[in-house]
Amino acid sequence: MSLSRRNFLKVTGGSILAGSLGVGVKPKTAHARRIKIKDAKESKTICPYCSVGCGIMVHTFDGKVINVEGDPEHPINEGTLCSKGQSLHQIVHNPTRLTKPRYRAPYDTEWKEVEWDWALNEIAKRIKQTRDKTFKLTSLSKVKEKQPDGTETEVKKEFVVNRTDGIAHVGSAALDNEECYMLQKLLRSWGLVYIEHQARI
């Protein structure tokens, strides 16, 4: 009778074999498990959660993050991390990550996956359309004006403002500095002034 080990256990019950399987085998003293970061590439990052700025070593293998741990060289965290920093790999490889652009049409009940090129072109069109429709070359501001009798009164006057009040932006404290700089510059080039982010809340 030939039975695989698993089937055999199934048939006879695990405990029956209990004592006899190990006859003649010396107890092992060393664990042979191969350390998982042995062949990994190491790169460094700074934790994306709070603002302590802990250094993190990211171990990758075959294009995947296989381990993260605190960077022992880093003077602030000295190799340590809290629960959030320690879970960084699950931000990267996560079945619920958005991996394709999505679009929700007016009054639709579902998301649809779309191509980047289409989405970016459509957004660009809307930016232009809204901007052109709502662009203000001038606007009224209240200013104090000296009257002939020496007193000051508040009057409304028209000034050049060159802005759009039709588009607003919020975010993002999660971007890199270079991106933050590029973003504020881009938004202001479109004429936005309703520009806010996490620092306000």
Partner 1 sequence: MTNHWIDVKNSDVILVMGGNPAENHPVSMKWIMNAKEKGAKLIVVDPRFTRTAAKADIYASIRSGTDIAFLGGMIKYILDNKLYFREYVVNYTNASYLVNPEFKMPGELDGVFSGYDPAARKYDKKTWSYQLDENSIPKKEPALKDPNCVFRLLKKHYSRYTLDTVSAITGTPKEKLIEVYKAFSSTGKPDRAGTELYAMGWTQHTVGTQNIRAMAIIQLLLGNIGIAGGGINALRGESNVQGSTDHGILFHILPGYLPAPTATLSDLKTYIEKHTPKTKDPKSVNWWGNRGKYITSYLKAIYGDKAAKDNDFGYAWLPKLDEGMNASWLMLFDHMLKGKFDGFFAWGQNPACSTSNANKVRKALSKLKWMVNVNLFDNETGSFWKGPGMNPKDIQTEVFQLPACSCVEKEGSITNSGRLAQWRYKAIEPIGQTKPDSEIMNELYFRVKRLYQRHGGKFPEPILNLSWRYGTKDSDGRIKKVDTHLAAREINGYYLEDIYDKTADPPKLIGKKGELCTNFVTLQADGTTSCGNWIYSGSYTQKDGKVINMMARTKKSDPTGLGLYPKWAWCWPLNRRILYNRASVDPKGMPWDIKRGVIKWSLTKLNPQTNKPGIWEGDVPDGPAPPMADEKAGKYPFIMRPDGMGAIFGPGLADGPFPEHYEPLECPLSENPMSKKQRINPTVKLFYTDKNSLAEDIYANNDSRYPIVATTYRVTEHWQTGVLSRHIPLLLETVPQQFVELSKELAKEKGIKNGDKVNVASLRGKVWAVAFVTERFKPFKIMGKTVHQIGMPYHFGWQFPEDGSAGDSANLLSPTIGDANTMIPETKAFMVNIEKA
Partner 2 sequence: MLRKALLISPEICIGCRGCQIACKEWNNLPADETKNEGTLENPSDLTPNLYNKVRFIEVPSETTPLRWLFVSQRCMHCDDAGCITICPAPGALFKTKEGAVAYDKDKCIGCKLCASACPFNIPRFDKNDKISKCHLCSDRISEGLSPACAKTCPTGAIRYGQRDEIISNSQKEGYEKLYGQADLGGLGVLYAFKDAPKIYGMDEQPAVPETVLLWHNVLKPLSYLGLGGAVAASLLHYIAFKPKKDEEDK
Give the x-and-dash track for 109-128 against partner 1 (CB under 8 A). x-x----x--xxxxxxxxxx
- Which of 41, 46, 42 minimizes the C-alpha distance to 56? 46
Sites for partner 2 among residues 11-50 (CB under 8 A): 14-23, 25-31, 33-36
Sites for partner 1 among residues 153-182 (CB under 8 A): 159-182
| DSSP symbol at 175 | S
Stretch that binds partner 1, among 16-24, 31-39, 145-153, 191-199 (CB under 8 A): 191-199
Q: How far is the CB of 160 from partner 1 (least distance, A)?
A: 6
Sites for partner 1 among residues 56-75 (CB under 8 A): 58, 60, 63-65, 73, 75
- Which of 163, 145, 162 minimizes the C-alpha distance to 154? 145
The sheet with strand 41-46 has its strands ordered as 41-46, 55-61, 64-70
Using CB under 8 A as the binding rule, whether residue 194 contacts partner 1 is answered as yes
Using CB under 8 A as the binding rule, whether residue 97 contacts partner 2 is answered as no
Q: Which amino acid is at 128?
A: K
- What whole-number distance in Å separates Cα of residue 164 and Cα of residue 186? 13
- What whole-number distance in Å separates Cα of residue 49 and Cα of residue 83? 10
Which of partner 2, partner 1, none does residue 153 bind to, with CB < 5 to 8 Å depending on kind? none
- Judged by CB under 8 A, the residue of 2, 4, 51, 83 near partner 2 is 83
Which of partner 2, partner 1, none does residue 36 bind to, with CB < 5 to 8 Å depending on kind? partner 2
- What whole-number distance in Å separates Cα of residue 134 and Cα of residue 162? 11
